[in-house]
Amino acid sequence: MLAASRPRGSQPDRRYLLSAVVTVLALLSGCAGHSVSATSTPSPTATSAATATPVPHHVTAFTCAAGSLPVGSGYTRISCTITRAGPNSVLRASYTGQGSNGPVNYTRLTSEGWLVVDQTHGDSPNGAIGQYLYFNQSAWFAVAYSYPASTMTVEQGIPLRGAAPISCGQALTVGTAKIQGVPTPSSMVSTGTSLVSVGAGSRLGSYLLVPACLRDVEQFFTAALATAGWKVLEPFQLPPGGVEGTPVTAEAATVTRGSITLSVMLIGGEGTPTLLGVVVTPL
């Protein structure tokens, strides 16, 4: 989920996992030059994830009309659809080409209130491959691009009733989907922006989102993991050097059952959905 310059299909150990979280948080807070080792003093248990709800603001629902999507120059659109998926309207568009100044218009996204939650990027002899995720209140915008394949896909999901800040206090229920035997919330959403790029040697997978605040998702997994027979080795905690709400909060827990050890990662901002990742940790 968070693997700058690392193939998405790989399975990092916990040291790399936490280092990746620290790296992303440092980038988001403008402190990319500051490196923190995942072997430093354990960070405190995340018992009070950010719960403040931001002031509501209008979030534009993108359309298939020319100029609506914040796509960078150098791309030619080949398809665009808008469908209903449960309580959300989901726009998916695909492109061919290579962005001359990046895949999307970052300045426009920032000015419209979009918060970057994940930036995964890798380079190869054939060009760059990457995937981004943005939140804006209860809406999301995901991007996956491959220069070797000259392709890009984008997806916006926005509630049919319009985007609004997500408040804490939801009682999440267990759904039917499981990840490595880990139960997940029934409201979990999988984005459609995934691609495979053999030329770049990387696989970018779909993002898993829970439309609930980080604190509620943490409480869900704390209870659901115990019920499913998982033993907690390390409870949810911030990565070493991590700070809540800068501008997102990231935390991870390590659990084991039988011969399998997993890291469950959660990332979210104030009033946004929560990004979920489950990673197998080699013993």
Q: What is the DSSP track for the chain?
A: ---TTS-TTS---HHHHHHHHHHHHHHHTT-TT----TTSSPPPB--S-----PPP---PPP-SSTTTS-BPTTEEEEEEEEEEETTEEEEEEEEEE--BTBSB-HHHHHHTT-EEEEEEEEEETTEEEEEEEEEETTEEEEEEEETTTTEEEEEEEEETT---PPPS-----EEEEEETTEEEETT-EE-S--EEETTTTEEEPPPEEESS-HHHHHHHHHHHHHHTTPEEEEEEEPPTT--TTSSSEEEEEEEEETTEEEEEEEEE-TTS-EEEEEEE---
| 273 within domain boundaries | yes
| 66 within domain boundaries | yes
| 7 within domain boundaries | no
| 88 within domain boundaries | yes
Q: Are 273 and 211 in contact (CB under 8 A)?
A: yes
The pLDDT of residue 108 is: 95
Q: Cα(171)–Cα(219) distance, rounded to whole angstroms?
A: 9
| 2 within domain boundaries | no
Global pTM reads 0.79
Q: Cα(159)–Cα(140) distance, rounded to whole angstroms?
A: 10
| 1 within domain boundaries | no
Per residue of the chain (283 residues), give pLDDT as tens. Answer: 433 333 333 333 333 333 343 333 333 333 322 222 222 333 344 444 444 567 899 999 999 999 999 998 999 999 999 999 999 999 999 999 988 888 999 999 999 999 999 988 887 777 788 889 999 999 999 999 988 889 999 999 999 999 999 999 999 999 999 998 999 999 999 987 654 433 333 345 689 999 999 999 999 999 999 999 999 999 999 988 777 877 899 999 999 999 999 999 999 999 999 999 998 876 5
CA 230 to chain centre: 24
Q: Give bridge partners of residue 280 from the DSSP assignment.
A: 262
| 243 within domain boundaries | yes
Question: Which tokens is 252 given?
Answer: 């991870």
Single-letter amino acid code for the residue at 96: T
Cis check for the bond before 247: say yes or no (omega within 30 of 0): yes
Opening angle at CA 172, ends 28 and 195, nearest 5: 50
**Site of tokens 């659990």:** 255
How many separate domains does the chain show? 1
* Start-to-end Cα distance in the chain: 20
| 4 within domain boundaries | no
138: containing domain = 14-280
Opening angle at CA 157, ends 154 and 161, nearest 5: 150
